Amino acid sequence: MLSVVANIGFGLVTSLLGGVFVWLWDRAKRIREVNRRAAFFGVRPGQTCLIVLGNKYNAPGTVHYRDVRAVVELSLLAGELGCKVAVESGDFRGGNGDRTEFCVGGPTGGANIRTGGHLAAHLPGVTIHPFDGTRPNSVAIEVGGEKYLFDRGNQEYALVAKFTPAESTSPVFLVSGQTSVANLAAIHFLRRQYPHVAGRLSSLERFCVLIRVSGIGTYEFHRAALEREVSAAAFGQ
Mean pLDDT in residue range 46-73: 87
How do beta strands 146-148 and 126-128 pair? unpaired
Question: Could you tell me the CA-to-CA distances from 214 to 137, 157, 171, 180, 205 in Å, in that order?
Answer: 18, 9, 29, 14, 28
Question: Do residues 186 and 74 touch, judged by C-beta distance below 8 A?
Answer: no
Collect all residues with Cβ–Cβ distance below 8 Å to 47 and sequence separation of at least 6: 83, 84, 98, 99, 100, 170
C-beta separation of 201 from 210 below 8 A? no
Residues 58-75, mean pLDDT to the nearest whole number? 86
**pLDDT number for residue 21:** 47
Q: What is the reported pLDDT for 233?
A: 97
| pLDDT at residue 227 in the model | 97
pLDDT, average across residues 219-226: 97
Give the C-alpha separation, 43 to 39, whole Å: 7
pLDDT of the residue at 10: 62
Average pLDDT over residues 149-178: 97
Residue 35 has pLDDT above 90, yes or no: no
Q: Is the pLDDT of residue 24 over 50?
A: no
Q: At what angle do helices 65-80 and 2-41 cross, to 10 degrees?
A: 140
Split at pLDDT 50, 70, 90, the class of 132 is confident
According to the model, what pLDDT value does residue 54 have? 87
DSSP the chain: -HHHHHHHHHHHHHHHHHHHHHHHHHHHHHHHHHHHHHHHHT--TTSEEEEEE-PBTTBTT---HHHHHHHHHHHHHHHHTT-EEEEEETT--S--TTSPEEEES--GGGS-HHHHHHHHHH-TTEEEPPP-TTSTTTT-EEETTEEE--BTTTEEEEEEEEE--TT-SS-EEEEEESSHHHHHHHHHHHHHHHHHHHTT-S-SSSEEEEEEEE-HHHHTTS-EEEEEE-HHHHTT-
The answer to whether residue 155 scores a pLDDT higher than 90 is yes
Ordered by start, the domain boundaries in the chain are: 42-234
pLDDT, the chain, mean: 88
pLDDT of residue 56: 73
More confident residue, 45 or 149: 149
The answer to whether residue 50 scores a pLDDT higher than 50 is yes
CATH code: domain 42-234 is 3.30.379.10
How far, in whole angstroms, is CA 74 from its chain's centroid?
A: 8
The model's pTM is 0.86
Share of the chain above pLDDT 90, in %: 72
The pLDDT score that the predictor gives to residue 125 is 97
**pLDDT surpasses 70 at 28:** no
Q: Which residue has the higher pLDDT, 108 or 228?
A: 228
Confidence of residue 25 (pLDDT cuts 50, 70, 90): very low
